[in-house]
Amino acid sequence: MGNGKTTYFCKKAACPSAEKLLSYQAASLSREQEARITSHLIECDFCCAELHLLSHSEQAEVGCTQIAEIPAHLRRLAETILAGYYFRDDFFSDMILEREDLSFTDA
């Protein structure tokens, strides 16, 4: 598993989809596709981990899944984080002062 190089642990464009990995696991691919995925798994720690996870999870029937809406407050939080507001220095200092209501006389 993996080639020992330092890389980011993430799915890349060249990685097979979860559906392809499930088909690989079920041995329902052509020999050519199976060989390609086997070769990919030798080099890709992420896909090895994903295949392991998929093999231990209960699979839903095709077409039975529903997409849930993200609650509005969680969507705002995610958008704020992705916009980078949380990474500004003044955010944390403002947040601490608001939550703790600290002053120099309290110390």
Q: What whole-number distance in Å separates Cα of residue 23 and Cα of residue 34?
A: 9
Residue 44 placed within a domain: yes
Q: What is the pLDDT of residue 49?
A: 92
Q: What whole-number distance in Å separates Cα of residue 107 and Cα of residue 104?
A: 6
Q: What is the pLDDT of residue 33?
A: 96
Residue 67 placed within a domain: no
Written as tens digits, the pLDDT of the chain (107 aa) is 455 555 577 888 899 999 899 999 989 999 999 999 999 999 999 999 999 988 887 665 555 556 778 888 888 888 887 776 555 555 555 555 544 455 556 55
Output the pTM of the full model: 0.49
Q: What is the pLDDT of residue 71?
A: 87
Q: What is the pLDDT of residue 79?
A: 81
Domain tally for the chain?
A: 2
Q: Which domain holds residue 87?
A: 72-102
Specify whether 13 is located in the same domain as 46.
yes
Specify whether 54 is located in the same domain as 86.
no
Specify whether 47 is located in the same domain as 22.
yes
Q: What is the pLDDT of residue 63?
A: 52
Specify whether 80 is located in the same domain as 39.
no
Specify whether 40 is located in the same domain as 83.
no
Using only C-alpha atoms, the chain has a radius of gyration, in whole angstroms, of 22
Q: Mapping DSSP to helix (H, G, I), strand (E, B) and coil, where does residue 63 land?
A: coil
